[in-house]
A and B are shown apart, each in its own frame.
Chain A
Amino acid sequence: MPIEFKTPGAIQQVVSMAQMVAEQVMRPKAAYYDEHEHEIPWEYINMMWPIVSQSPLLGADDSRNGHGEAERKRSPITNVRLIHIVEMLSWGDAGQYLCTPGGNLGAAAIAAVGTPEQKRRFLSRFQGEKPAWGAMAMTEPQAGSDTSAIKTTAVRDGDFWVLNGEKIFCTGGRLALEESNGLVVVWATVDPKAGRAGMKPFVVEAGTPGVTVTKLEPKLGIRASDTASILLQDARIPFDHILGSPEVISDTGGEKGFKGAMKTFDATRPIVAASALGIARATIEYVKHLLNQEGITIRYGAPLHQLSAVELEVMDMEAQHRAAWLLTQKAAWMMDMGLNNNLEASMCKVKAGDAVTRITQKAVEILGPLGYSRAHPVEKWMRDAKINDIFEGTGQINRLIVARRILGYTSRELK
């Protein structure tokens, strides 16, 4: 396959469907859900559910028959298609996009490390009649980027695990546990002394006694999406809800469970990057539109001494956006090709997080009184954008990963 930049027709088709949803359902309500934090965008959810549950677009592509590998081989554009859809939906509204029903991060973890039987058992709910959500709970009050510092425990009790601890910043935790028959993949340690080797993912289903959503965080942006605190008090789950091996394998043995979690990031970071870049594109289009109304068009190729500061800023926005989008497409394409994209996934996440932060902040400045006003969408996009430089690995954590990879250093050599 030579170097090519032509979006395949099959992707264009599904993107124009996403565009209809973005334009007709998401955009008209974007300001409303921003102003009414934590109201659930049911119009969008109910519009998306029949599509998502019929042909899982957003993460749970392995759920049908438990033969994910074979399916992926037949569809060599799965990840490239996915980032195009996510980009378009986030162009519509990033807050509503994050409420997209389906397995999401929870299903991604199950798909990555679950047995075929677990995939069948846990993922079938994402093809049911009613919308259902999956989520992932890793972060704790004292453990953010340093995931190995989590304190939530899982103690074996016969045929059960007993979970105790507090999870925070769980995206979609309320939708998964309170608004649907969903599930949350909760990370807990089976051996607090073992560090990462003791960390295991457990499937916690909606309705499990001892599991409570205790708080929805008030946020800078993406306000339609809930960011939940989850309290686990003697929550008993069946023994076979553990994903991967229950054994604590020493460092030299491979850290299978933890590595499994890290591997899902290789898939999800390009998705977050794509979401960031949907916001960035919306912003650039809006800025150019308003400038056009004032008779200002960007003169590409004009010499520097003729260009205005605004033209230079817009060109830089476009250049950074394009570079980030190509990095993101490459990271997704590598997944589709079955190549290890650990480095590229972090590269695109860094670049997209930086680009969208800068682009949206610059846009507010360029549009001046219009930029800062809530009568225009740009200030909201700036607030929405920032999360992309934080979740699924902060810009700093991803720089650390890139640096380790290019230098050939372990996490001990480069802390």
Chain B
Amino acid sequence: MSADTGSGRRKLVEVTNLKMHFPILGGLLRRQLGSVKAVDGVSFDIYEGETLGVVGESGCGKSTCGRAVLRLYDITEGSIRIDGTEIGRMSQTQLRRLRPKMQMVFQDPQACLNPRMTVAAIIAEPLEEHGRLSGKERLNRVYELMDAVGLNRNFANRYPHAFSGGQRQRIGIARALALNPKFIVCDEPIAALDVSIQAQVVNLLEELQDRFGLTYMFISHDLSMVRHIADRVAVMYLGKIVELAPRDGLYEKPLHPYTEALMSAVPEPDPDIEARVERIILTGDVPSPSNPPEGCNFCTRCPKVMDICHRIDPEFREVAPGRFVACHLHDATQPQSRTRTGQTGATTRSEHIQQGEDA
């Protein structure tokens, strides 16, 4: 997988200004008192065949964002185009027909598998729902999928409890693959697994991507693992994407102060590096998404906070080719390869003329 910004490649997923607000109901008549702005205006694209990593701390809205992109929720606002089809406003009945194209792998492999179904039945369920295969063909497909994810065919009639965490996650992946999807949202697929098992599952996901040309949205709080698997990375904080950039650029030189702090906080399994690393210790906690601060969401904890940050919410914009950031520190930097540079130049010039005229 190349790490280029994907110019010229086809966009499989286009998300524009996605908002997902959950109402807070209360009082005598269960009136709406406010809303939790779990996802508050995010925009990003995912190119065909790439992996977009989404990182952030718990409560930043990364899982909600993943679920909203697949329309597991009725979204508050925004547009989602998957493979050219706008699904933001589609009804669940219409969506059903598109489900084979887009699938999900869940975090907790214990909770997302029905304990009363055998592995074969779990993997075959999407085939029954959406496919037209005969019983025999279906079983063959189940075996094929079990091979693909590295599960022993002889275990097809066992129940989920007989498997370990890593194997259960493989069952979940096989189920997601059953209908030959193009796009898979992986919501913290390795968070519940042991360190020595995580690498097995990540390698499997990468192999499957190469084999079937899959596109992933990989949601995780593990920055080192995202660096390994993702081509581009979006960093979320309090319902918004604060930075979106190609992997290597982001990890080499994070532009947003939050990304910087987040990366410096990750402990490295090497005592020599640990002794050298300069940690940016953020004070305080993440504000509540029902009552975000005025101005920039990060202004309450930002080590580089300025006056303007308390007043104006920074715009999420491209500051260098392929690098998007929402921060006032980069207000001065102009994108290099855009007509916008020309436009800004033009406006300043006309201002000068006006001033000249006044004088």
A binds B: no
Chain B contact residues, CB within 8 Å of chain A: none
Residues of A within 8 A of B (CB): none
